[in-house]
Amino acid sequence: LIPVLEAFQARHGVTDMVVVADAGMLSAGNLNALEDAGFSFIVGSRISKAPYDLAEHFQRHGDYFADGQILESSRVMGTGTAARTRRVVYQYSFKRYKRDNRSINAMVERAEKVAAGTRPVKKDRFVRINGADKDVNWALVEKARQLAGLKGYVSNLDPDVMSGSQVISAYHDLWHVEKSFRMAKSDLRARPMFHHQKDSIEAHLTIVFAALAVSRYLQDVSGLSIKKLINTLRPIRSATIALGDQRLTLEPEIPPEVKALLDTIAKSGH
């Protein structure tokens, strides 16, 4: 990761860079390596740490949070000489609370079916197994409900540099990256399963990411999704017909709405 970031800095002349990543990057080793290389970071935090990070809030206010409320805490990550104190930002959202509770209710329903013997045991979060006995781990359910609606973020940025709300806003921009990867895997078919040589794999992915850059540009210019653009423009094709020694090119009939779209793209300068 570090060499890729440093190469990006060198190529684009970037000096002050903030790495934003989901909780998969959250380990003391990863964060220390980023910091030692001179990078700032904002990384999603695992919600299971919230009872410890927000112990004072839970002691004073129980599990009450105002919608949109932002709280800050700190956490020591790593052990021994690698241990460092990290800033942790939390936000409570009532919309997220409802979504989390729907997920919890679905998992409880599956756990109850396992306990009743009407559903096979799988990796069910709220199932407690003791020998041959299976039941619902209600203590774990209650703990999950207490944390519903909360989302945490770990950062090494000072609050004077970036406020809690700015940290959260920067993290939420990750959906742009996630959307690009979904486009690359679905619309652009970035799965080089039929390529086995390094050069052909790199060539395939180069074409895919060039197409991704064009697609994102067209989306920004037109305001349409890539699927909508493809469905709109794909039928607009010319045809060449050979009649003896002659070749005739038939131009497509362009509907007014498609002409307006093409004009919008043309006016962008590309």
For residue range 193-216, list pLDDT tens digits in order: 666 788 887 887 788 888 888 888
Are 82 and 216 part of one and the same domain? no
Q: Give residue 44's domain range.
A: 2-91+149-172
62 and 86 belong to one structural domain: yes
Does 116 share its domain with 55? no
Whether 268 and 222 map to the same domain: the answer is yes
For residue 189, is it within any domain?
Answer: no
Compute the distance between CA of residue 43 and CA of residue 29 in angstroms, rounded to an integer: 13
As separate numbers, helices (DSSP H) first and strands (DSSP E) second, the chain gives: 11, 9
- Number of domains into which the chain is organized: 3
Residue 186 belongs to some domain of the structure: no
Note whether 162 and 127 are same-domain residues. Answer: no
pLDDT tens digit string along 64-85? 999 999 999 999 999 999 999 9
Asked whether residue 59 falls in the same domain as residue 159, the answer is: yes
Pair (21, 58) in one structural domain: yes
- Within 8 A by CB and 6+ apart from 203, the residues are 195
63/162 same-domain check = yes
Residue 27 lies inside a defined structural domain of this protein: yes
What is the radius of gyration, based on Cα positions, of the chain?
Answer: 26
Provide the whole-model pTM: 0.72
Range ranked top by mean pLDDT from 104-118, 170-184, 255-269: 104-118
Helix, strand and coil percent figures for the chain, each rounded to 5: 50, 20, 30
pLDDT of 38 higher than 90: yes
Same domain, 83 and 154: yes
Confidence tier at 24 by pLDDT (50, 70, 90):
confident
Task: Mark whether 105 and 135 lie in a shared domain.
Answer: yes
Task: Report, as an integer, the average pLDDT of 241-270.
Answer: 87
